[in-house]
Structure 1
Amino acid sequence: MLNSKQIQALRPRERRYQITDQAGLALRVQQSGVKSWVVRIPQNGRVLDITLGHWPEISLLQARAMARKKRQELQLEPSGSYTFRDAFKFWCNKKKGRISSYRDEKLRLEKYIVSKIGNRQLDSINPPILIKLVEPIEAAGKQSTVKRLLMRTREIFDMAVNAGFLNSNPLAKITKVFATPEVRHMPSIDWKELPIVISQIEAKAPPKYRALFYFSLATLLRPGEVVSVRIDWISEEAITIPAEFMKMKRTHRIPLTPYLISLINEAKSIRKNKRSPFLFPATNKNRHISGQAMAKWLHDQPEFKNKLVAHGLRSIGRSWFADNDVTFEVAEACLAHLVGSQVVRAYQRTDFFAPRQKVMLSWHAYIETCARCAQVLSQKPAESEAPD
């Protein structure tokens, strides 16, 4: 079997020659140096060479696909061609570093699709095959997973069409077969109920999770961003998180306040791994704790299960901003959200740091007020039972 490096290294000779690839496909090298793809077809006791096109205009994988299609038309034994795994690798090369969910999407596709039909010829995959593959996933109640799988698989086929490996996408309308998943927002609470939540945190959370909770609430970072915070990112004015660690791939600065400084000092004091560069280190000094640590702890507590998740702390803060007249752009900047069209963002490049300093002072003052209320709630004597 040929490969791209071998093809590129082929040089013209005094006479025309050809190199065989597989199942009748060959590359013919002319005296002029022109390289042409041909497929050899047996016909009436003779061998007929059919020219497919020139290299590099037609790549090796494209030539294999064209040769296989030609042999199918003539009802000959199918030859090896472009598989779904090949198309998946092509998708990975194009999407890596370009979509924030790349790692999750890749693992999901590998688990549910590539592992099942990765070795199938791409042009042999049709809607019924994929429908049968994802129906058990839908039956398990994972509608969102089905949606993501269908979207990305359809995208892989679109890219294969654009690359010339298929004439059309047979999965173009496959999403119509399955019901649209119901959108459910992550559980959260009204910001007015924060004192009750804090009283429960104070009563039950170990020091590490208590520090993680308060730091998440004060910074309003996403769970994965919270645990990635390194000590050397903290200056006298702000915590500056590099773009590659943020979901939106933009540098994010969190204004320091006296309250946030006290939380940072508390987190440092309870660290068991003092040599770790992370504010919330794992046992291994070169790693931080899991981004799901806070979410798992909340899920394990009956008081919070299906009522509050780690990501829901951002919703509490955003709702407080809305009800306390914080302007839309500033409130969204506090959550590191991108606002406006691409044109608007091209002109508006500020991160609203100065107004966010004032907003965060007020937000942190509210958290401290809730903490004081929580102490009152925890000290309040239980109501006596009513007499018989």
Structure 2
Amino acid sequence: MLTSKEIQALRPRERRYQITDQGGLALRVQRSGVKSWVLRVPQNGRVIDITLGHWPEISLMQARALARRKKRELELEPSGSYTLRDAFKFWCSKKKGRISSYRDEKLRLEKYVISRLGSRQLDSITPPVLIKLLEPVEEAGKLSTVKRLLMRVREIFDLAVNAGFLQANPLSKITKVFPVPEVRHMPAPDWKELPVVISQVERLAPPKYKSLFYFSLATLLRPGEVVSVRLEWISEEAITVPAEFMKMKRTHRVPLTPYLIALIQEAKEIRKNKRSPYLFPATNKNRHISGQALAKWLHGKPEFKNRLVAHGLRSIGRGWFADNDVPFEIAEAALAHLVGSQVVRAYQRGDYFAPRQKIMLSWHAYIQSCAQCAQVLSQKPDSTGSSD
């Protein structure tokens, strides 16, 4: 079987020659250096050559797909061609670094689809094949997983069509087969309930999770962004998170306040791995703790289960902004959301840092007042007369 590197390295000779690939496909090299794909097939008791096109206009994978299609038209034994795994690799090469959820999407596809159908010819995968594969996932109640898998598999097939490996996408209407998943917002209490939440955190959380909770609440960063914070990103004015670590791939600054500075100092003091460059380091490795650390801790406590998740802290902050007359653009900037159309963002490139400094002072003052209320709540006796 040929490879792309071998084809590129082929040079013209005094006479025309050809190099075979598989299933009758060959690459013919002319004296002029022109490289043509030909398919050698039996017809009417003799062997004929069918020209498929020139290289590099038609790549190796495209030529194999064309050869398979031509042999099918001639009712000959189909040869090996472009597989779903080939198409998946092509999708990976185009999407890596371009979609924020690339790693999760890739792992999901590998687990549910590529591991089962990866070796199959792309043109042999029909809607009934994929429907049968995903029905158990639907029966397990994972409708969101089914939705994302269908979206990405359709995307893989669309890329294959654009690359010339398929004439049309047979899966273009397949999403109509499965029910639309019900959208459920992540659980988070109202911002007015924050004193109760903090009192429970103070009572239940060990120092590491308590520090992680307060830092997440104060910065309103996403869980993965929180744990990625490095000490070198902290200046006298702000925590500056580089674009590649942000979901929206845009540099984000969190204004420092006296309260946030105190939280950072506390986080530094309780670190066990003092040499780590991360504010929240893993214990024995030169890496940060898991982005799911706080989420798992909250999920494991009956007081928070189905009531609060780590991402829900951002919802608490956003609700407080809305009810305290914080302008929409400034509130969205505090959560590192993109606002407006692409044209608007092309002109409006500021991050509202100065007004956010004032807003964060007020937000942090509210957190501190909730902590004081939490101390009062924790000192109230319960129905049995004991202290909470």
TM-score by length of 1: 0.98
What does the per-residue CA deviation read over 1:2-56, in whole Å, with 9 as the maximum and x for residues that have no partner? 1112212222222222111111001112222221111111122210111111111
In structure 1, how many angstroms separate the alpha carbons of the residues matched to 2:383 and 2:116?
60
Q: Aligned residue for 1:61?
A: 61
* Structure-to-structure mapping, 1:128-147, within 5 angstroms: 128-147=128-147
In structure 2, how many angstroms separate the alpha carbons of the residues matched to 1:113 and 1:266?
46
Q: Aligned residue for 1:345?
A: 345
In structure 2, how many angstroms separate the alpha carbons of the residues matched to 1:139 and 1:312?
28
Q: Aligned residue for 2:224?
A: 224
In structure 2, how many angstroms separate the alpha carbons of the residues matched to 1:120 and 1:91?
16
Amino acid at match of 2:221: L
Amino acid at match of 2:62: Q
In structure 2, how many angstroms separate the alpha carbons of the residues matched to 1:307 and 1:347?
40
Query: Quick check: 1:238 aligned with 2:238?
Result: yes
| Off by >6 Å, runs of 4+ in structure 1 | none
In structure 2, how many angstroms separate the alpha carbons of the residues matched to 1:143 and 1:115?
20
* Structure-to-structure mapping, 1:260-275, within 5 angstroms: 260-275=260-275
Gaps of 5+ in 2: none
SS of 2:53 mapped into structure 1: strand
Contact 1:217 1:317 in 2 (8 A): yes
SS of 1:27 mapped into structure 2: strand
Q: Aligned residue for 1:166?
A: 166
Gaps of 5+ in 1: none
Q: Aligned residue for 1:8?
A: 8
Query: Quick check: 1:295 aligned with 2:295?
Result: yes
In structure 2, how many angstroms separate the alpha carbons of the residues matched to 1:207 and 1:16?
76
* Structure-to-structure mapping, 1:31-180, within 5 angstroms: 31-180=31-180
In structure 2, how many angstroms separate the alpha carbons of the residues matched to 1:40 and 1:168?
26
SS of 1:346 mapped into structure 2: helix
In structure 2, how many angstroms separate the alpha carbons of the residues matched to 1:124 and 1:9?
33
Alpha-carbon deviation of 1:225?
A: 0.5
Alpha-carbon deviation of 1:285?
A: 4.1
Q: Aligned residue for 1:357?
A: 357
In structure 2, how many angstroms separate the alpha carbons of the residues matched to 1:223 and 1:124?
42
Contact 1:277 1:285 in 2 (8 A): no
SS of 1:19 mapped into structure 2: strand
Amino acid at match of 1:255: P
Q: Aligned residue for 1:215?
A: 215
Amino acid at match of 1:363: W
In structure 2, how many angstroms separate the alpha carbons of the residues matched to 1:271 and 1:34?
65
Amino acid at match of 1:236: E
In structure 2, how many angstroms separate the alpha carbons of the residues matched to 1:255 and 1:29?
64
SS of 1:157 mapped into structure 2: helix
What does the per-residue CA deviation read over 1:254-284, in whole Å, with 9 as the maximum and x for residues that have no partner? 1111111111111111111111111111113
Amino acid at match of 2:217: L
What does the per-residue CA deviation read over 1:59-100, in whole Å, with 9 as the maximum and x for residues that have no partner? 111111111111111221110110000000000000011110
SS of 2:135 mapped into structure 1: helix
Amino acid at match of 1:49: D
SS of 1:195 mapped into structure 2: helix
Amino acid at match of 1:270: I
SS of 1:320 mapped into structure 2: helix
Amino acid at match of 1:211: S
What does the per-residue CA deviation read over 1:86-125, in whole Å, with 9 as the maximum and x for residues that have no partner? 0000000000111101111011111111110101010111
In structure 2, how many angstroms separate the alpha carbons of the residues matched to 1:166 and 1:239?
49
Distance 1:384 1:88, change over 3 A: closer
SS of 1:250 mapped into structure 2: coil
In structure 2, how many angstroms separate the alpha carbons of the residues matched to 1:285 and 1:27?
52
TM-score by length of 2: 0.98
Contact 1:268 1:279 in 2 (8 A): yes
In structure 2, how many angstroms separate the alpha carbons of the residues matched to 1:301 and 1:383?
22
In structure 1, how many angstroms separate the alpha carbons of the residues matched to 2:32 and 2:194?
79
In structure 2, how many angstroms separate the alpha carbons of the residues matched to 1:253 and 1:350?
11
SS of 1:36 mapped into structure 2: strand
- In the alignment of these two chains, the number of paired residues is 385
In structure 2, how many angstroms separate the alpha carbons of the residues matched to 1:18 and 1:231?
60
Amino acid at match of 1:169: N
Query: Quick check: 1:25 aligned with 2:25?
Result: yes
* Structure-to-structure mapping, 1:278-357, within 5 angstroms: 278-357=278-357
SS of 2:40 mapped into structure 1: strand
Amino acid at match of 2:364: H
Distance 1:37 1:384, change over 3 A: closer
In structure 1, how many angstroms separate the alpha carbons of the residues matched to 2:126 and 2:152?
15
SS of 1:81 mapped into structure 2: coil
